[in-house]
Amino acid sequence: MKSAMENQFLAIFLMTNVLIFSRSSAKEQQYISAVGDPGMRRDGLRVAFEGWNFCNEVGKEAPAMGSPRAADCFDFSSSSLEHKVTEADNKLGVGKPFPGISPGALNNPDLYAVEKELYLGSLCEVADTPKPWHFWMVMLKNGNYDTKSGLCPENGKKVGPFKPGRFPCFGDGCMNQPLLYHQQTDFLGMEKMRGGFNGTYDLGSDIRDGIDGISFFEVVWEKKVGVGNWAFNHKLKTSKKYPWLMLYLRADAIKGFSGGYHYDTRGMLKTLPESPNFKVRVSLDVKQGGGPKSQFYLIDIGSCWKNNGAPCDGDVLTDVTRYSEMIINPETQAWCSPTSLISCPPFHITPNDTKIYRNDTANFPYSAYHYYCAPGNAQHLEKPVSLCDPYSNPQAQELVQLLPHPIWAEYGYPTKRGDGWVGDAKIWDLNVGGLSSRLYFYQDPGTPPAKRIWTSIDMGTEIFVSDKDEMAEWTLSHFDVILTPPSS
């Protein structure tokens, strides 16, 4: 009876919403967000954490930390925050059952993490139309690769151990998961709320003794009650033992394979954005860059489709992760140049859909591209070509890395070095859909073009093998993915 009444109430509520909505949309263009919490305005926050090793798996849990999946989700009420996830949930690790876990996952750290994410998602789920959603995702990745471990596949194929040298690794255990500390969100005085995750990869150390000489990561979120937006303050510090680290805030698909992953995940994108019909709004304030190796991605988009254009289905031998990102660190040089075509995509497409080949030295915008690399399992590549790293994803990958350049002005992207960097904090309205519809991505000749549907949209930095300890620090807010009607 109670639920019937609730349903009736909900139906009336929805109808009223639809009425109000359709009336206002007659006057102005509809504003339809693809994320559960447009602009990060909702007082009742949903945020989760995931730790990835070099091949986007867990490998081995850190001692006493549980599986590297955690969440901080609560409904707001003025007297208290009603938390949905307990610290016991966050500490769940291999061997400890939870509702819904499959027997095969219980003692496998990789599968356990995948199912723990689904479980945390079920605790955090917010009912919404067209679909319920779960959380923003803080993603932390350690770029160390112990090639003697035989842990990571090569373009999705299982391979044995091989000689070290190509990747950073200080020795046994270099692919470890971090120590993770959680400050559950709470009131800070009467008017503010704050919470956070922080920690280090250096298992023997204690961040309370300071972070000199050790790695460190932190994401602290805060918001004024009832007004404004959540601000996510990030810090990422490399060390000698951990010179290659990544920290992103992601809006992932609520279901399916989000970028870089071959299992079902949970996230914030209740509708999947498809090129060219979406935009991304986000504010960024970079306080500290993280040194010359910090490839700060103003926006990074990730998806998955096969070389024949078909959507991914979890078969790691034929699925290909596709990424594109703009690197805004002004110290990042274009590797693509007239004398290094191997680092350029085969062609560039202008906003008016003119194709410019990379051998057209008079017209190709070389300095707009940092690096292009092709999937290792592609059969018909145009030479010269650089293949993407075959180990750092569960399957083959393709990367299109951009740099600020006047040709991107059309899409609202940074146009010159330093745009969006330290001292240039701003809100960006990026036509990510438009730009990504005109990027080159490999496909087998004669196959129907893949639908460019993006399952992960994120921002953050990848400090790519620093020579010395570096710290990056930035604040992100106002994150939204806006669906735009076709041909606007």
Nearer to ligand NAG, 107 or 350 (CB): 350
**What single letter denotes the amino acid at residue 96?**
K
CB of residue 206 to ligand NAG, shortest distance in Å: 10
Q: Find the distance separating the first CA and the last CA of the chain, reported in whole Å.
A: 47
Query: Rounded to an integer, what distance in angstroms lies between the CA atom of residue 300 and that of residue 256?
Result: 18
Q: Exposed (0-12), middle (13-18) or buried (19+): which is 301, by Cβ within 10 Å?
A: buried
Single residue of 181, 277, 283, 422 touching ligand NAG by CB under 6 A: 181
Stretch of 4-12, 102-110, 263-271, 354-362 contacting ligand NAG, by CB under 6 A: 354-362
Count of alpha carbons within 13 Å of 307, Cβ hemisphere only? 18
- Token pair of 321, please? 């992760």
Nearer to ligand NAG, 98 or 347 (CB): 347
Query: Rounded to an integer, what is the distance from CA 57 to the centroid of its chain?
Result: 15
Single residue of 207, 225, 310, 342 touching ligand NAG by CB under 6 A: 207
Residues 6+ apart with CB under 8 A from 350: 356, 407, 438
| Cβ-contact 324, 280 below 8 angstroms | no
Single residue of 121, 168, 196, 394 touching ligand NAG by CB under 6 A: 196
Nearer to ligand NAG, 407 or 483 (CB): 407
CB of residue 235 to ligand NAG, shortest distance in Å: 8
CB of residue 142 to ligand NAG, shortest distance in Å: 18
Query: Rounded to an integer, what distance in angstroms lies between the CA atom of residue 436 and that of residue 227?
Result: 33
- Token pair of 71, please? 């969440």
CB of residue 299 to ligand NAG, shortest distance in Å: 23
Stretch of 286-294, 303-311, 348-356, 453-461 contacting ligand NAG, by CB under 6 A: 348-356
CB of residue 161 to ligand NAG, shortest distance in Å: 36
CB of residue 198 to ligand NAG, shortest distance in Å: 4
Write out the H or E segment, with its range, that includes residue 23: helix 2-27
What would the x/- binding string for ligand NAG be over residues 214 to 243, using CB under 6 A? ----x-------------------------
Nearer to ligand NAG, 81 or 211 (CB): 211
Single residue of 22, 308, 350, 488 touching ligand NAG by CB under 6 A: 350
Counting contacts by CB under 6 A, is residue 354 touching ligand NAG?
yes
Nearer to ligand NAG, 28 or 209 (CB): 209
Single residue of 183, 277, 386, 415 touching ligand NAG by CB under 6 A: 183
Counting contacts by CB under 6 A, is residue 198 touching ligand NAG?
yes
The secondary structure of 41-65 as a DSSP string is --SS-EEEEEEE-TTSS-SSPPTTT
Q: Which of 282, 233, 278 is nearest to 454 (CA)?
A: 278
Stretch of 123-131, 226-234, 279-287, 351-359 contacting ligand NAG, by CB under 6 A: 351-359
Query: Rounded to an integer, what distance in angstroms lies between the CA atom of residue 425 and that of residue 460?
Result: 14
Nearer to ligand NAG, 17 or 361 (CB): 361
- Token pair of 173, please? 């255990």
Please give the size of the binding site for ligand NAG, defined by CB under 6 A: 13
Query: Rounded to an integer, what distance in angstroms lies between the CA atom of residue 5 and that of residue 11?
Result: 10
Nearer to ligand NAG, 150 or 406 (CB): 406
Stretch of 49-57, 102-110, 223-231, 347-355 contacting ligand NAG, by CB under 6 A: 347-355
Could you count the other beta carbons within 10 Å of the beta carbon of residue 95?
Answer: 10
H helices present in 213-335, as ranges: none
Stretch of 40-48, 84-92, 123-131, 350-358 contacting ligand NAG, by CB under 6 A: 350-358
Write out the H or E segment, with its range, that includes residue 297: strand 294-304
Query: Rounded to an integer, what distance in angstroms lies between the CA atom of residue 63 and that of residue 109?
Result: 12
Stretch of 25-33, 253-261, 346-354, 462-470 contacting ligand NAG, by CB under 6 A: 346-354
| Cβ-contact 443, 450 below 8 angstroms | yes
Nearer to ligand NAG, 98 or 181 (CB): 181
| Cβ-contact 383, 394 below 8 angstroms | no
CB of residue 391 to ligand NAG, shortest distance in Å: 29
Single residue of 352, 379, 383, 449 touching ligand NAG by CB under 6 A: 352
For the chain, percent helix, then strand, then coil, each to nearest 5? 15, 35, 50
Q: Judge if the upstream peptide bond of residue 292 is cis by omega within 30 degrees of 0.
A: no
What would the x/- binding string for ligand NAG be over residues 365 to 384, using CB under 6 A? -----------------x--
Single residue of 292, 357, 385, 483 touching ligand NAG by CB under 6 A: 357
Stretch of 33-41, 243-251, 273-281, 352-360 contacting ligand NAG, by CB under 6 A: 352-360
- Token pair of 76, please? 């707001």
Could you count the other beta carbons within 10 Å of the beta carbon of residue 412?
Answer: 17
Counting contacts by CB under 6 A, is residue 487 touching ligand NAG?
no
Q: Judge if the upstream peptide bond of residue 449 is cis by omega within 30 degrees of 0.
A: no
Single residue of 359, 361, 447, 488 touching ligand NAG by CB under 6 A: 359
Q: Which positions touch ligand NAG (CB under 6 A)?
A: 181, 183, 196, 198, 207, 211, 218, 350, 352, 354, 357, 359, 382
